[in-house]
Amino acid sequence: MDYFLQQVINGLQIGFVYALIALGYTMVYGVVGLINFAHGDVFMVGAFIGLYAIGKYHLPLFAVFLLATIGCAVLAVVMERVAYRPLRQAPRIASLITAIGVSLFLEYFTALNQVFGPNFYSFPRPFAVSSWGPGDISLTNIQAIIFLVTLSCLGALQFIVRRTRVGRAMRAVSFDPVTAGLVGVDVNRVISITFGLGAALAGVGGVLYGIAYPQVNTFMGVMPGLKAFTAAVLGGIGSIPGAVLGALIMGQSETLASAYLSSTYRDGIAFVILIGVLLLRPTGILGAAKTEKV
């Protein structure tokens, strides 16, 4: 039983990180109907910003998160402006292929020696690891930070989407961009903000991931990106609560699969889930045809 509970805690750790990434996929899909395949790479850039901010500049943790947030948001806004906006009216397949191109560009461009470099780099721990807990169950301070930071981000996001003017505009655009424009919403601006917001969350996720799994590389975003995308589809793409739910399920299933079956199943399980959802319930758990998209 203790072993099981421990695995659940470990599953929450990775599940929360997936949630931070999955939100960006789902929000962007909600407002523009685009699967931004470069989103996992934005997460990677967040991790590298963390690496430099901690390892080179020894900034306090709060400043590290702030930098990663801003850096990733700016990156995503530029990406949308340069790569996706010109294709807004083009057939969907064009933006999809562009997204894959942007993803590859980010992975290989940042692998240049002049940028982040092609190797695995160890992510400096900003604090010593400690843990508490009864019996065989333990909660590390890393996990505590992941839970705390992610829950605060989710709270902040919920507040922005539900209670602010910009959040209301996001929901309006996600429901009907033409009518949103008619009532005076600057749709392009809302789309930029959505990209920025999703990327900011991925940036936070990147730093947390680096702290928890302290090795970074410019291709590190690929697998978590795919899993978070699966989580968003599982929860119902376009739905914010769905993305979080899907991510938590993903975290649990891969942790439990590697604990009780074999760690080689860890990555496989994600794709079994993806294929299963697509076959059985393509709209996802919370993604009924009429759920709100953002």
Partner 1 sequence: MLIIDNVNVYYGKLHALKGISLRVGEGEIVSLIGANGAGKTTVLRAVSGILAPRSGKILFKGKDISGLPPHKVARQGIAHVPEGRGVFANMTVRENLDMGACTRRPGREVDESLDRVFSRFPRMAERAAQLAGTLSGGEQQMLAIGRAMMANPSMMLLDEPSMGLSPLLVEEIFHMITEVNRAGATILLVEQNASMAFSISRRAYVLETGSIVIKGDTDDLRNDPGVQSAYLGDL
Q: Which is nearer to partner 1, 93 or 183 (CB)?
A: 183
Distance between CA atoms of residues 199 and 76, nearest Å: 6
Among 4, 148, 186, 271, binds partner 1 (CB under 8 A): 186
Q: Which is nearer to partner 1, 95 or 174 (CB)?
A: 174
Beta strands in the chain (DSSP E): 121-122, 131-132, 139-140, 215-216
Distance between CA atoms of residues 192 and 208, nearest Å: 24
CB of 180 to partner 1, least distance (A): 8
Say whether residue 178 binds partner 1 (CB under 8 A).
yes
Question: How, if at all, do strands 131-132 and 139-140 pair?
Answer: antiparallel
- Does residue 43 contact residue 65 with C-beta atoms inside 8 Å? no
Say whether residue 267 binds partner 1 (CB under 8 A).
no
Among 23, 27, 180, 244, binds partner 1 (CB under 8 A): 180
176: alpha, beta or left, given left = phi > 0 and alpha = psi -120 to 50? Answer: beta
Q: Is the dihedral of CA 215, 219, 223, 228 positive or negative?
A: positive
Say whether residue 240 binds partner 1 (CB under 8 A).
no
- Does residue 200 contact residue 72 with C-beta atoms inside 8 Å? yes
CB of 21 to partner 1, least distance (A): 24
Task: Name residues contacting partner 1, limited to 92-151 (CB under 8 A).
Answer: none
For residue 70, what are the contacts with CB-CB under 8 A and spacing of at least 6? Answer: 200, 203
CB of 239 to partner 1, least distance (A): 11
CB of 177 to partner 1, least distance (A): 10
Say whether residue 280 binds partner 1 (CB under 8 A).
no
Label residue 213 exposed, middle or buried (CB < 10 Å: 0-12, 13-18, 19+): middle
Instruction: List the x/- string, 147-176, binding to partner 1 by CB under 8 A.
Output: ------------------x--xx-xx-xxx
CB of 170 to partner 1, least distance (A): 11
Task: For residue 38, report the phi and psi dihedrals to the nearest 5 degrees.
Answer: -85, 0
CB of 211 to partner 1, least distance (A): 37
Which residues bind to partner 1, rule: CB under 8 A?
Answer: 165, 168-169, 171-172, 174-176, 178-187, 290, 292-293
